[in-house]
Chains A and B, each alone.
Chain A
Amino acid sequence: MTRYGMVINLKTCIGCGACVAACSEENSIILSMIKEGAQVKIGSRTDIEVVEEGRFPSAKRIYYHHICMQCEDPPCVKVCPTGASYITKDGVVLINYEHCIGCRYCVVACPYGARYVNEELRAPDKCTFCYHRIKEGLLPACVEACPTHSRIFGDLDNPNSEVFRLSLRAVRPNSPKGTNPKVYIIPP
């Protein structure tokens, strides 16, 4: 079985925002096909936050990545009253706008704050791992754009994949509701 996942390497990430820009570029095209003029505003589906830690001279800046964790057991899918939020067989959490009534329960339910309300769609929106790209064998836009190769994407069930290898030495974000994220972090 394919089980898509991502590793974010904070050892090499310089926080430049190329991933965030790439996401907005790529997915605005897709959203505008769903509704003309709809956009993914910068920093909506994924974002970086700069956090300073430590005291001089051992201070550090850490770049937290804000992105959908593509949980194995996603609360957003559980709370959806119409079944519009669903999980594909390869483990990507998506939204079916045919069934979405815009109630936004999912936005509140996500423990990672990964969903937001898209003003033009008047419906929740979130990272799709660029599902339209990965099913054609391409990488998600953010992964392909990262100048430092700090976002690594692939099949977590494939022991030969880079993402599997790196996930072994990465940490999983804490999972308060037993959500089991599929986005791993290599700490700085």
Chain B
Amino acid sequence: MIYVMPKMSRRDFLKLMAITSATIALSSPELKLIALKERKDKRSDEVKIPKLEKRYLMCGICEGHCVLVGNFFNGKLVKIEGDSRDWVSHGRPCVKGKTSHLILYDPDRLKAPLKRTNPDRGFILDKNGAIIDMKDPKWVEISWDEALDIVASKIAEAIKTWGPQSVVFVGHGRGADLASLIGTPNVIKHHTTCHSTWDVSLRPAFGGKLPVADLANAKLIVSFGYDQGAGKSRNPAVWSFSEALKKGAEVIVFEPRLSETANKATEWIPIKPGTDLAVALAMANVIINEGLYDRDFLIKYTNAPLIIDKSSLKYIKDEKGNLLVYDEFFKELKPLSEAVRPALFWKGEFNGKGVSTVLQVIRDHIADYTPEWAEKISGVSAGKIREVARKLATIKPACIPHWKRSGGTGPGRAQGVETYKVITLLMALTGNIERPGGWIINRNAKFIKKAISKKARKSFADLYPIPKEYQGKTVDEKEKFPLYYKMTKEGVYQKIWYNILNDKPYPVKVLIIWGQGLQATIDYELVEKAIKHVSDDNKGLVVNINIYPDEMAVLADVVLSEKMFLEGGPSVGYSESSDKTYRINWIDGIPPLYPGVKSMEWIAKQLAYKIGEKLGISKDVLEKEYMPESMLLSSEEKIRKELALYNKKVGTNVTLEKLEQIKVFGVEWKPFDLTKLPTESGRVEILSMEILKYGYNPLPTWKDFFTYKGSLASDELAVVSSVFAMNRHSKTVNNPWLRYFLKKHHADKVWVHPSVADKLGLKEGDFVIVEYSRPFGMQPLAKPSFKLMAKVHITEGIRPDCILIPHGTGQLSKFMSSYKFGTYGGDGVVKPVYVDYEDPSASAHDQDIIVRIRKVR
């Protein structure tokens, strides 16, 4: 290959610039003199590394929470590095964390609380019905005292007159201690648009534990839309994926668009959106029917040989409660512990009931899911499906990485829950669990969070109880998804705006949106209406706690300025994402830049005091009887408690003093005993009894509404969403360096295939209007009527029937430098609200739609 510089006009530009400016420079000797005088004359090879003060920090961009080492030059944070002892980042934080000092020093940051003076709020639409701007809130700066007073008196009023349930917290679980003190059940996270599918499909198979992909040692990687490593640049996935590539691993990617993982893959298979499940089912079918499964692994570590009732699917046990298997040696049913040669496939009778082995039930269930059947649905040829299935079963170790929102397994697609069941089955069939290069049980130290209780000892609900008819009901209906609620204790994010607007199951008086951006929400129109409803119709208050004056802040009544994640400390950190080493780390922290920015803990505590005061509870009584531990302990006490729990669970002996000295601590990875899992059988359950217990079907099943049928109209396209390596929505979009890279990757545009562009007469960079057209199959609860305006990127890297709408690059708050960068509003503008009560994960299904596009004239 000849390496030619890209078609860069840069050099021509520089050439031109050099000549013109050289003329100027030489023709004005004064200028040159000044230039020389200002320079401290130095040869480049004599320059020494400046003395930089180092402080340990922790990244807060994603849940990976990499250890960051901040380098300070003249007291200013100028450079961020990693620490190589940190397994999560391998000493190399991603570009978002590495440049987070630009967020710290961002002039757009909130520096004090704000109050809106313009009662008119919402989006401004153009004549096409597309969002183009937002109404100015006409903010005035207010003191913290005034801000807390406004918020606390509204909360107190709501508690007294409507009940504690009328106070709602939306965000990443922030303010949970305050919510507990108030006594409201409404603390809502965004899981159902993010990873609720793994919570209900994957966790039950491992008794609540979560396996993660150990790509670094894999020889084969088969991805169903997985793009967390290369595409989303999430450490450590990005490190392990690149390790695999360097070792020459084969990578096969099923994905409608050329994601970054697909770009690096050996083979990119552009599958029809929403059909990954069909291919996965057919692969399982091939592996079972061709006898390519790992017999030893299935018998030793999974529930495949266990005997279940064919109709109820429950385990058959003997009188002593032992789980049974069919012994091929004795030709009879035997307790698991006494069996000589358990059979994987067997059916027969037991006490007059039809019984069979788990794997037999699965084989019968997926018998019709042949590669030929899958070809008709997905467009992937039967031969290719067979080939990939055989590779998956024979190349070891092999891995099907899985993660979150994007692709075939995420809650963005209705098929996500079922796909997770099949990939768990595939990984078990091929024996790639808890082995290097396959799935390994996640070993992060997230559990130390539990050391400090956030539960109030006594809540305001004891004085002002929730009205009887509202008890046990939440704004997001989490009680209707018992398995999901058990696994996560989280809410149904896409439903909240709809319910708030319709006062279901009760009216909301105070809405506290804590660090949740609008870019991650679904249906902007609904959000706007819901916020207006709370503030105007219910005479309530919408509070936004934020670091940026972003779109959500522009919609709110009061904006409170929070500190950003690098500020504060010292404290102890840990990864909430995949980790292999139970890493904990010391955070030196840095003092907040502005006196007007406050920590989450401070805001919650001050609000608690103020609300207590308004309800007639004195400070002393509040501290003595009400407040949860998390509000009372000093930071040092908290760290000591957290370390004590860590040492107990991991079996180490780390003291606060030692951690402060060594900064990063972790333990070596050792294999985990897969027969001692907290599942009913103690084993990996490829047919989960936990799912069954909650009344859902544990067998992976294809349903017709998972993808669209027939052909699309000439202006219709199926939606694909994606996150880019340099983007984490409203958290990072104001970082100018990241926007520089996002632009290069065309992440600020929607992507279509050249054939679509020809049909609609589009050129690169033309503006298009994207509007919601119809669902794949299931009817949504609410259809968006707002339209999305965006520039178009024409690329060969996408299926001709799809459109890529990047997730979270649109910003319409004019108080930010990212104003009108990217799409006009986020991808949520055109996404409808789905709630499927049959789906145990309460997934948002927000990508299962067809949109219509046209050129803006």
Contact = CB atoms under 8 A, between A and B. Distances in A.
B18 A107 contact: yes
A49 B6 contact: yes
Contacts of B2: 171, 174
Interface centre among A56, A107, A174 (most CB of B within 10 A): A56
B18 A104 contact: yes
B8 interface: yes
B662 interface: no
A135 B44 CA distance: 12
A188 B572 CA distance: 41
Contacts of B90: 147
B14 A14 contact: no
Interface string B3-24: 1111110110011011101100
Contacts of B41: 97-98
B742 to A, nearest CB: 9
A149 interface: yes
Interface in B736-752: 736-738, 740-741, 744-746
Contacts of A43: 740
A16 B726 contact: yes
A25 B78 contact: yes
B799 A56 contact: yes
B744 A14 contact: no
Contacts of A9: 246
Contact of B725 (A14, A60, A138, A145): A14
Contacts of B14: 107-108, 113, 115-117
Interface string A113-155: 1011100011100001001110110100000111111100000
A145 B80 CA distance: 9
B47 A30 contact: yes
Interface in B12-70: 14-15, 17-19, 21-22, 25-26, 31-32, 35, 38-45, 47-50, 52
A3 interface: no
A131 B47 contact: yes
A113 B11 CA distance: 5
A101 B744 contact: no
B529 interface: no
Interface in A1-36: 9, 11-12, 14-18, 20-22, 24-26, 28-30, 32-35
A73 B98 CA distance: 35
A160 interface: no
B78 A29 contact: yes
Interface in A25-78: 25-26, 28-30, 32-35, 42-43, 48-52, 54-61, 64, 66
Contacts of B7: 51
Contacts of B242: 12, 14, 147-150
Contacts of A61: 258, 260, 263, 797
Nearest to A126: B44
A176 to B, nearest CB: 10
Interface stretch (B230-238, B405-413, B701-709, B817-825): B230-238
B563 interface: no
Interface range on chain A (Cβ under 8 Å from partner): 35 or more
Given A29-B50, A34-B39, A136-B49, A54 B796 contact: yes
B718 to A, nearest CB: 15
Contacts of B45: 88, 92, 94, 131, 135
Contact of B44 (A102, A128, A185): A128
Interface centre among B11, B17, B39, B44 (most CB of A within 10 A): B44
A64 to B, nearest CB: 5
B744 A50 contact: yes
B79 interface: yes
A174 B35 contact: no
B209 interface: no
A21 B238 contact: no
B334 to A, nearest CB: 51
Contacts of A28: 78
Contacts of B21: 104, 117
A73 to B, nearest CB: 18
A29 B79 CA distance: 9
Given A49-B744, A59-B797, A102-B35, A147 B93 contact: yes
A139 to B, nearest CB: 11
B40 A15 contact: no
A174 B725 contact: no
B360 interface: no
B1 interface: yes
A178 interface: no
A116 B8 CA distance: 14
A88 to B, nearest CB: 6
A104 B22 contact: yes
A43 B290 CA distance: 54
A11 B19 CA distance: 38
Interface string B308-334: 000000000000000000000000000
A28 to B, nearest CB: 7
A95 interface: yes
Interface string A98-110: 1001111001100
Given A59-B795, A121-B39, A14 B230 contact: yes
Contact of A97 (B8, B39, B246): B39
Contacts of B6: 49, 51, 64, 66
Contacts of A29: 50, 52, 73, 78-79
Contacts of A15: 260, 725, 741, 744-745
Contacts of B745: 15, 50
B89 to A, nearest CB: 8
Given A15-B744, A17-B726, A52-B796, A34 B42 contact: yes
Nearest to A184: B3
Nearest to B800: A56
Contacts of A132: 47-49
A146 B49 CA distance: 20
A140 B636 CA distance: 38
B370 to A, nearest CB: 24
Contact of A94 (B25, B44, B260): B44
Contacts of B233: 14, 16, 147
A161 to B, nearest CB: 16
A51 B8 CA distance: 11
Nearest to A21: B99
Given A147-B89, A148-B241, 20 more contacts: A11-B264, A12-B245, A18-B92, A18-B94, A21-B99, A26-B79, A33-B40, A35-B40, A42-B740, A52-B795, A52-B797, A66-B8, A97-B43, A98-B42, A107-B15, A113-B14, A117-B14, A131-B45, A144-B92, A173-B3
6 contacts: A18-B95, A57-B269, A107-B15, A108-B18, A117-B17, A117-B18
Q: Which 10 A-B pairs have the closest CB atoms?
A: A113-B11, A148-B242, A59-B796, A17-B741, A94-B44, A173-B3, A104-B18, A18-B95, A49-B6, A16-B725
Interface of B: 1-8, 10-11, 14-15, 17-19, 21-22, 25-26, 31-32, 35, 38-45, 47-50, 52, 73, 78-81, 89-95, 98-99, 230-231, 233, 235, 238-239, 241-242, 245-246, 258, 260, 263-264, 268-270, 725-726, 736-738, 740-741, 744-746, 753, 795-800
